[in-house]
Amino acid sequence: MATGVTRMRFTAIDFETANERRSSACAVGLTVVEDGQIVDEIYHLIRPNPTYFAPINVSIHGITSRDVEDAPTFAQLWPQLMDRVSGPLVAHNASFDMSVVRQASDVCGLPYPETDYFCTVVIAKLTWPQQDSYKLNHLAEWLKIPLRHHDAAEDARACALVALEACQSHGVESLYDLREPCGLRVGSLCRDGYTPCGARRRKR
């Protein structure tokens, strides 16, 4: 695993959803990284409204409506989670997880958090262009990261470790330092909207 990363500070996040609606978050995992080390791991079930679980989603993550009967709603849980977030957010396929944040917030009438974010799919493509797949389970296997896929806590932890490995590969001490060596464009969420994480076009 990555070592020697001294200025690294971020929170990896992963959502599972109950159905095809991005607002139907039913589980969330967070892995908090400080100074290149995992210092906190958080997992919560979430009670979506309505509590409709599509069979295909259940077949992926195994969570059912019965599991979330006593769980908090997104509106109840999200402000508490943001109090525990350190640094920018990081997600694997961040366009999905950030859309969960936005759409669940819209349904609840909550403002979007003011934060930068990074996508480890984008980072991995820029760091290891030879890979056949950039799915989290493939990268975890290649990097020898233990993973029980589609468990929000496990996915968040694997995402954090992929980010640390990428930084080690480039010899940088911060996710923001990836902007120069691989042309990364940092994403952002704000009260008025968002800017996606991606790759900057290189000058010819």
Q: What is the pLDDT of residue 202?
A: 55
Give tens-digit pLDDT for 22-50: 999 999 999 999 999 999 999 999 999 99
Query: Quick check: bond before 55 cis, omega within 30?
Result: no
Report the topology of domain 9-195.
Nucleotidyltransferase; domain 5 (3.30.420)
Q: What does the pLDDT read at residue 4?
A: 43
Residue 175 C-alpha from the chain's centroid:
14
Q: Is 28 helix (H, G, I), strand (E, B) or coil?
A: strand
Of residues 28, 18, 30, the one with CA closest to residue 157: 30
CA distance 89 to 147: 20
Instruction: Output the six-digit token pair for 4.
Output: 């020697």
Exposed/middle/buried for 85, CB within 10 Å: 0-12, 13-18, 19+? middle
pLDDT digits (tens, 9 = 90+) for 138-175: 999 999 999 999 999 999 999 999 999 999 999 999 99
pTM of the model: 0.94
- The 10s digit of each residue's pLDDT in 61-119 is 999 999 999 999 999 999 999 998 988 999 999 999 999 999 999 999 999 999 999 99
Numbers of helices and strands, H then E, in the chain: 7, 9
State the alpha helices, DSSP H only, in 62-93: 74-83
Answer whether 180's CB lies under 8 Å from 191's CB.
no
What are the structure tokens assigned to 149, written together? 């896929």
